[in-house]
Structures are given as C-alpha cells and as structure tokens.
Structure 1
C-alpha cells in the first residue's frame, strides 16, 4: 500500500515532534506562526465547534459530522487547552489509507471525509494551512475514525430498518470510545484496530474477494449484452451466437479447459459452463440456454456488485466470530447448513415462510429434539386459518386429529365452546394436533426457543421439496431430511443412533430428547454467497436488497452513541 507521504519524504523527515507539541502546531510553525498563540487559538476554535455541533447543519467545510456527542466527550482540556489528537503522521497515514480502501468492504470512502482530509493534509504539508484548517482536519479525522469503526463493527445500515424481525446475535461491539481512540493513536495501531472489527470468517472474506473480482471485470469493460435469434441453445448445436455465449460466460467464470476448436459448436466444456452458471443463479442446471438463463446473463454488472455490497453489510450486522459448531438456515437459498469450524458438513433443502408470513431472521440454539411431536397452533395461524375453518365445520378438529385444551392442558369438549364468539379477551383455549402421519410437524421437531413461534421440523408434504422456490410455510422451517440433522445434533449422545431414532419414531409415542451439547442456530438472509471462486446468487424472496443498497449509497445518519 503506497504511503500518503511518499511525495513529502524529505520534508516529513525534518519534523521532530517534541512530546508536548502537536504535529499540527509544528506544521503551522512551518508557516511562521507563534506556537503559544496557535495553541490558544486552536483551543478556542475547537471549543466553538464542539459546542455548536448539535445545531450545526452545514457541517465542517461541507462535511457532515456524524458523531457529535462522542466528539464532545473525546476532546478534553489539557493544561486548560483543547489539543489535537492526530499529532503523528503515521497515524494519519494509516487512517486515510484505511478510509481510501474502505471501498473494498463495499463502503464509500466519501462517507469518511476522504476528499476534504486529503485536501487539508496537502494544504498543511505545503505550509499553507490556517489554524481553523488544522482544527477541522483533526475533528474530521476523529469523526472518520469513529464512523468507520462503527460501520466495520456493526454495518453502515440499520438492520432493524430493513428486516421486519431481526434477532440475530447482536454484532454491535461494545466500544469504550475514549480508550479505543487513544490506545489506537498512542500505539500507532489505527489501521490494525479498525480492521480487527471486520468479520474474520470465510463467508465475509470470500464475498469481499468476489467484490474485488467483479470490480476488476468492470474496469476491463464488463460483459456485452447477450441475445440469440433462437428460442434456446443447447449441447450439440452449432450457431453464430455461440461464440458470444462463450465470451459472456468466460468474462465471469473464466475460460473452460479443453473444448472444440470450433467456437460455434456447443460442446461439453461449454455445457459445463452453462450448468455452473445455472447453479450459481439458482436455476435448474439442465444446460439449456433459455429465456431465464439469458435474463440472468444480462443482469448489469453493477447491479450484481450492489447485491454483494448489501450482503457484506449484512455480515457486518452479525458477530465477527463464528461458533465452532452451528446450524445456519439461509432463507433466500432455501438451504440449511450444518457447519463445523466454518465448513459445511452437509446441507439440506428447507421450506420457509411466504411473502405474507415471512420467516423471521433470528438466532437461537437447539436444545432438544421431539420425536412424534405435538403441534400447538400458533396465535397467528389460529386466528387466520384454524378458527375460521372450525366455525364452518367443528368436525374440522377431528379430521385433523386436533384437540381443544384448557390452559392447564386438560381436554375440552369442542361442542362446549361457542366458536362464533368474537373472543374479545383472547382465545381462552389451546388447539393441539396429536402425533401421527398427518401432523404438521411430521415425525421430528427441533426445538429452538424464540418469541416468533417458529419451529424447525419435518413435514408430511415432502413432495414440496422438489420445487425451486420454497416460500410455502406460515413462517416455520420445514427440513428435507430431519433424521440426518437429528443424528448430527446428537453426535455427542452416542446412545442415539440412527437406528434407535427410527425405532422410536415407529413406536409413535411422543418423546423428547435433550441434546447434551446445545448447538447454536441462526436464521439469516443472504442473497449472494461466494464459494469455490464463484458467487452464487439467490432470489431476494422478501425484496430486502433494494432498501439496503439505497441506504449504503446514502449519507450515514448521525450517531446518538455516547
């Protein structure tokens, strides 16, 4: 990384900093200023800015200040004067370089005053700075540091604004700002401490590398719009449009090995390229270039980069660390991943909530497994689906193997209930479906406590897993092969083999199995994931990406942190 001061080496080398004199004072001395007067005037101007931040709408040199409350706490008097914090060129170099390269994280360096900082630095190094310039420079450096630290640690955008329900492990690092700022400056670890706030796991790193790859593709001219005069293209065909198909796929996926010298022939290496592209875009990998494939190929490059940047920010919403063993469900990909040390042991298809009843994003832990489970109808489904059905025909309960229970779980005769009541004070009963082949939970339920009545479970409607888009539930998560998942969760409970689980299910009796080692579980919303050098794209099923992308392109809000 090139130093900011590579062009000023001779001049900077002559600056020797006495411990009681700030760099900015020295720079101003180079312009012929008296140090005592400089210190007093610097302090007075600084105090004026700090006092008026709350009412200041114009900012500093047209730069909005995003952390007015914290700034007022950070600048304290020493020997009666407010002094500059950034009195070391190495610290300034580290911060401005970190800001400049923040675009690699999908962030905008302009959010951190990059243009003004570089202009003021050049002005001071040229000996042309006024005292007010040095004050603004110091404040904007500190504000940039605080803002960048907050965005690295917890994302630029507000997660709760873009997801209707968010309850994942909170990523907000508890930072004691005076200590964090001062220790970074004293130890000259500005860049190191900032970068330490970013997620360290491979999901984030791989996606960040992919953003760099796509930026490089853009710098080389991107890819051309693809179309064909035919309805579709497939293996064995020869056509003048096929060389352009090769070029489009190679721009994103690289050139395939081998292949025919006849570039107009749709050969096996091209077939494999098309199948990879289809898998990456969550399309059936039949190798046929049809309308859906062409639409995906013509998504603008910078739209894809926007999606990557939105997902990088989502990862920053979540904790930077990853438990050694975790179960992760990604809503847009309709997949569950059993992860060990960040690597997938296996994945399973899942069914998630509809647009009207979306699966929430949250974190929990799987503590026990229920075989031949009961299903207690959650309040939302009770009001919207079950009660209307019972009002039409009370026999609905018996046909679905459901019972009415009182609050103490004693059985209530359905005929004794006035089903046409409005239940103004709330429905006073519990509707429970008994274990059996038609139970909505299927044969297995995985209990992950949460306030949303969302469970992870088997289903009697297993034919639904063949669908590509699986937003079909009322918010709960249906798992394709819950027995395999249960076996993995019970890995440290040696008495629970696959054979024993199957035997207990065959018995038909309700049974709860405690897991000796609780496994964390996260339900996430990720629409772009990088693996094996490629990005895999998933439909934005709940239409969340656009709002996050727009917020990333907007000016950061003022922080009310203290």
Structure 2
C-alpha cells in the first residue's frame, strides 16, 4: 500500500513539474485567464492616454495591440503589452515629476522605459499578481474610472453630421429639419433616450438641450445657436481628447493638493473652498483676458486685507491708465489715485503737472486709495507668490452676469468676496463687531490668517460633476492640438 502511495505521489510531482514547464513556456500576458484580464485593463489605460494625444508612441502601441492584433503571434503581442506597461509607468512618473502648478501638456514628455520592471512583471505573473501590478499604474484620482469610461464612449461615437447653411436660431416650440439631427446627437451623447419626436422642439427636448447647455457653460435658454451647435456637433474624438487632457491636469494637480484647500478653475470661472470633502464656499470669478492670462499656480492664502489700497502695476499703468491721464490730468483725482514718489511719499502735483508727466513717461508710481471705486473693492486676499497674483473684490459686479468672464489683467475677482472674507475672519476667531470697526475706518487693515489656506489656480476645461462630463471653452488655447501649438510657436519666432 505504501509503495502504491509513493508511486502516486511521484506521478503527481512529475505532472506538476510538467504543468509548470508548460505554463512557463506561455507568454507572460497569455498564461491563463488572469493575465488576459490584466492585458485588457492595460489596453484601457493605454487608450485613455492615447486620447490625450501626448506622445505618438502610445498611439503606435495601441494600434499594434488593437488594430493589428490578427497579424501578430502571441509572443509578439506579449512583448507589446510589456512595452505598453513600461511606457505607461514612465509617463506617470514623468507627469508627477513636473512642478506643482506648472504642467504644459504641449511640451514633449521625455519618456525612458525602465527595463528593470520586466523581472518584476514576470514575478508578478508567477505569483498571480499581474492584474495587481497593472492596477497600480492607475492614478489615485476619484473620478479616474468614470472619466475613462466617458472617454471610451466618446471614441465610439459616430461622426457628427455635416450641416449645410445658412443656419438659423431654433427656439423652443419651433419646427426644423435639423431637430432630428439634434435629437440623435443627444442620444449619441447619452443625454436622452432614443425617441421619435421628429422635427418639433417640444418641451422634453428643450429640457435636455438646457441640461446640455449648462454642462457646457452656456446660457441654458433652450435655443440652438452657434455656441450650442459647436458643442453638439463636436466630434467624439475631440471630446475624448479634451476630457483626457483635463484628466491628466487634474491627476497632476491632485497629486500636490492638500485635502482641504481653496481652488480657482480658470476656464470654469469658478472658485470653491473644499473642506472635509465638502464645498464650504463657492463663487463665480473673473479671470485674466487672453493677453493677460491668469497663471496656474499652487500657493497659500495668508492674509485678508480690508479696505485695500491698489498699487497699480507698471504694466497696467503704462497700457491702460497713462493714455487717459495724458489726455485728462483730472483723471487721477477723480478716480481716487495718489501719485507716489521714489521714497514712498505722496506728491501734491497739479493736474497740469500730472498730465505733463504722463506725456513724458511718468517717473512715479500710482496708488488708488480705499473707497467704493477702488479697483480691488473692499477686500483683497493675499496669496504667497512672486507674480503679484491675488484674489480680490471688485466694484464691477455687472461682469459676473456674463458666462465668459475673462476680463481682468491677471488677478482673480470674486463675486462673493465679502462672504469669503467673513468666513476666513470668523475662522480666525475675529468678531463681527471687530470686522465692522475695521471697515468703518477706511484705512487698509492686513489680517493674518492663523491657518493659511492652501490655494490652487488650475486650468481644467473638462471634469466630471454629478456623473456627467462638464466642458468649457479653452479660453487661452492651452488644449489646442500639438501641431497647432507648434505652428503658433514657430510663427512667433
């Protein structure tokens, strides 16, 4: 009996050894079901980066793995998967290496695949941990998978229809042949179920169009005009590109974010204060115009200034104010400005002297006194940075009625500046009566925030909100295709 048992054990051991040899002979990414699942996951990650159009090597790998798969043996395909793994690992490493708040996706990524990863992959496959190794490449970003699914959906969309002009506005309740195309496009975008509503802009369709307009930063009036058409008929490939590039920006920014922070999304014209994963404060903002862009940066909000003075930057003085003073010497007094000398003293110049100085280059500084007409309004929020960029109130409240709010000279104007000031000061244990006393004095009062708030100025033209992608205009042209950016740069040389 013992002899038979011993022979049986020998046979089992021999079988397991032979089985191990067979499995070892199989290519890394095709040895059983688990590696095949890991390969599919790797394809999905690769497709997401390909959509952003960052490096042609990603597109070449994806094409070889997906479109040319029938032309390759499994050994070749396995090597391609390993190449894709190495390239993705190098990409994320390089992305995180880029400085905080300074991500230019149009600058080449110098990707050097790390060959030392291959033995680790082999070891992971042997220990049935290949999927785990692939999943570790995913960025730690809450909306990553949902964003990836939307990118995949956009890449699957049929080409948008070609419209023949002239095109007119289509208002709620009207009939038009184009309404059929509009319905189908909303169906394609997963924004409404299939229907046969025909050519009538009925109330159900209008409601969907209004949702669509809100998701793209447009006036939600239900009227189909040029801006709504632009977004409706934008190709799926371009939607995927915008969403993928914004995903990379968000992943990079979140890599450096503090859990609780204040954030301004420049093309979104929106500021939020996040605390405990909840929105504590939200406000519309005005940002820099195209010629005077608000920069992306990571900083900290350290002071609230009540009744601020405005020290006019030399660039704004030269471009905007001196021409007015040169033709009208009374402009300075009428708008509450002071002429300041080299030693910081206020100069008592006549209107004629001021006008003459403006015509000859103006060797002085200009400072606006606190008051209702001060360009900074009643509050300034000092950010720690070397570029003199800060947040502030504004007397021009009418600007917040516009959807596109790129009007400033670089600083960020807040619609709800007073609310933010009160929240920061109360958090600072400052009483309402003390705040009122400071306000009544009409003199600048700098109040240091005992716990500075990490503050980030970001550039996200797309993001996920309520499960749905949100898109905004690329106001500074940062997301133009790389070929266009190269052409523009060369034209300026």
Matched ranges for 1:149-548 at <5 A: 149-155=89-95, 161=104, 192=132, 195-196=135-136, 198-216=138-156, 218=157, 221=158, 224=161, 231-237=168-174, 242-255=179-192, 265-320=200-255, 322-406=257-341, 408-414=343-349, 419=357, 429-490=364-425, 492-497=427-432, 501=435, 504-548=438-482
Deviations along 1:422-442, one digit per CA (max 9) or x if unpaired, are 77xxx8754321111111100
Q: Residue 299 of structure 1 aligns to a residue in which SS? A: coil
State TM-score, norm by structure 1. Answer: 0.66
Q: Residue 546 of structure 1 aligns to a residue in which SS? A: coil
Q: What is the alpha-carbon distance in structure 1 between the residues aligned to residue 122 and residue 305 of structure 2?
A: 54
User: 1:365·1:449 contact (CA, 8 Å) conserved in 2?
Assistant: yes
Cα distance change, pair 534–95 in 1 and its aligned pair in 2 (3 A): closer
Q: What is the alpha-carbon distance in structure 2 between the residues aligned to residue 264 and residue 92 of structure 1?
A: 50
User: 1:309·1:549 contact (CA, 8 Å) conserved in 2?
Assistant: no
Structure 1 residue 351: Cα displacement: 0.8
Q: What is the alpha-carbon distance in structure 1 between the residues aligned to residue 26 and residue 217 of structure 2?
A: 58
Q: What is the alpha-carbon distance in structure 2 between the residues aligned to residue 296 and residue 194 of structure 1?
A: 35
Structure 1 residue 507: Cα displacement: 3.8
State the match for 1:107 in structure 2. Answer: 50
Structure 1 residue 113: Cα displacement: 8.2
User: 2:175·2:201 contact (CA, 8 Å) conserved in 1?
Assistant: yes
Segment of structure 1 superposing worse, 459-468 or 223-232: 223-232
Structure 1 residue 317: Cα displacement: 3.6
Deviations along 1:389-416, one digit per CA (max 9) or x if unpaired, are 4444544332232223345533344468
Structure 1 residue 328: Cα displacement: 1.3
Deviations along 1:262-306, one digit per CA (max 9) or x if unpaired, are 665544322211110111122211122334323332222222122
Cα distance change, pair 392–13 in 1 and its aligned pair in 2 (3 A): farther
User: 1:154·1:318 contact (CA, 8 Å) conserved in 2?
Assistant: no
Segment of structure 1 superposing worse, 288-297 or 151-160: 151-160
User: 2:147·2:247 contact (CA, 8 Å) conserved in 1?
Assistant: yes
User: 1:446·1:455 contact (CA, 8 Å) conserved in 2?
Assistant: yes
Structure 1 residue 110: Cα displacement: 4.1
Structure 1 residue 212: Cα displacement: 2.7
State the match for 2:10 in structure 1. Answer: none
Segment of structure 1 superposing worse, 447-456 or 312-321: 312-321
Q: Residue 544 of structure 1 aligns to a residue in which SS? A: coil
Q: What is the alpha-carbon distance in structure 2 between the residues aligned to residue 87 and residue 239 of structure 1?
A: 54
Q: Residue 294 of structure 1 aligns to a residue in which SS? A: helix
Structure 1 residue 388: Cα displacement: 4.2
Segment of structure 1 superposing worse, 482-491 or 90-99: 90-99
Structure 1 residue 550: Cα displacement: 7.2
List alignment gaps of at least 5 residues for structure 2. 1-15, 52-57, 487-493
Structure 1 residue 372: Cα displacement: 0.5
Structure 1 residue 377: Cα displacement: 1.4
User: 2:141·2:254 contact (CA, 8 Å) conserved in 1?
Assistant: no
Structure 1 residue 504: Cα displacement: 3.5
Structure 1 residue 11: Cα displacement: 12
Q: What is the alpha-carbon distance in structure 1 between the residues aligned to residue 181 and residue 81 of structure 2?
A: 49
Q: What is the alpha-carbon distance in structure 2 between the residues aligned to residue 545 and residue 430 of structure 1?
A: 38
Cα distance change, pair 247–176 in 1 and its aligned pair in 2 (3 A): closer
User: 2:270·2:283 contact (CA, 8 Å) conserved in 1?
Assistant: yes
Deviations along 1:317-361, one digit per CA (max 9) or x if unpaired, are 434353221111111121112223444344311111111111111
Cα distance change, pair 467–441 in 1 and its aligned pair in 2 (3 A): same
State TM-score, norm by structure 2. Answer: 0.74
State the match for 1:77 in structure 2. Answer: none
List alignment gaps of at least 5 residues for structure 1. 1-9, 18-22, 29-85, 165-171, 553-562
Deviations along 1:135-184, one digit per CA (max 9) or x if unpaired, are xx6xx8876544312322444998655689xxxxxxx9xx9979888767
**Matched pairs, number:** 452
Q: RMSD of aligned C-alpha atoms? A: 4.6
Structure 1 residue 196: Cα displacement: 4.0
Is 1:147 the counterpart of 2:91? The answer is no
Structure 1 residue 378: Cα displacement: 1.8
Q: What is the alpha-carbon distance in structure 2 between the residues aligned to residue 338 and residue 492 of structure 1?
A: 13
Q: What is the alpha-carbon distance in structure 2 between the residues aligned to residue 502 and residue 180 of structure 1?
A: 62
